Amino acid sequence: MRKGVMIAVACLAAMVASAPVALGHGGPRGFDGPKGDRPAQHPFLVRGVVAGSATATGVQITVGQGWGRHAVDPAHPGKSVTVAIDAGTHIRKMGVASPTFADLKAGDRVWALVVVDRSAAPGTTPAADAIVDLGPATPQTVRFEIRGTVAANASQGGVTVNVLRADRDARTALAGATSVQVTLGSTTRIHKRGVGAATFADLKAGDRVDVVWRAPAGTALASLGAAAKVRDAGPPPPVPFEIRGVVAADAGQGVV
């Protein structure tokens, strides 16, 4: 998220610098010119999420939260406003070389800079000077983790694990299941104790394993996709058997 914000700030700064905007001595922040001096134009920043696909003349934005008294009037948090677009609006979108209004998609996070003439009639809102599109929000993910034993030697695409323990999100996804078919993909990292570069072929029946996925909270078991990581601790250690007693008779060869 921080990287996206920095990109948005950089894009807006570059576009404002190249646009013919008279902001007065103090620029868009501070307005710190000589006493009594006010800039001819006042910049406003709208940050939020595109509410619907844009047209050549405007885009509807649901204003983000957390603006407090600095909210763009009348774009208060949670309110949907329409930001006008014209031929002079500079549009930038991450991953798109030459974006247009058609690239502003519903759900995309956007920053829009609107510069208003102080001499303009009340209620007059010009087209945006610049719009930066950061793309759709990435849903937050949580950790899903199970521990258990390998039911049978793994194949290249997956391994069956008998579940012995699971964290809260994994228990919800399992919905009572005690065995799970774990998908092994090209991005699955496999680690096995004592093996330098482990692969699926090292996941043997009886091995104790710890499997981790990353997915949005509430994801169903069938939708978890390939595991992010599989840690194999190998087979369980041998269990000692011990008896104590009294020799009943002289031992024979190999028998007591």
pLDDT digits (tens, 9 = 90+) for 199-221: 999 999 999 999 999 999 999 99
3-state SS string over 139-189? Answer: CCCEEEEEEEEECCCCCCCEEEEEEEEECHHHHHHHCCCCEEEEECCCCCE
Domains of the chain and any CATH numbers: 2-136 (2.40.50.320), 142-232 (2.40.50.320)
In this structure, are strands 189-192 and 229-232 parallel, antiparallel, or unpaired?
A: parallel
- Across the range 4-32, mean pLDDT stands at 43
Residue scoring higher pLDDT (135 or 124): 135
**pLDDT at position 130 over 50:** yes
Strands 130-136, 58-63: pairing kind = unpaired
Asked whether residue 29 carries a pLDDT value surpassing 90, the answer given is no
Measure the CA–CA gap between 228 and 234, rounded to whole angstroms: 19
Whether 193 has a pLDDT exceeding 50, the answer reads yes
Question: How many helices and strands (H and E) does the chain possess?
Answer: 2, 12
Give the mean pLDDT of 47-52: 88
The pLDDT value given to residue 76: 56
**Which has more confidence, 183 or 38?**
183
**Using CA atoms, how far apart are residues 238 and 214, in angstroms rounded to an integer?**
34
DSSP 26: T
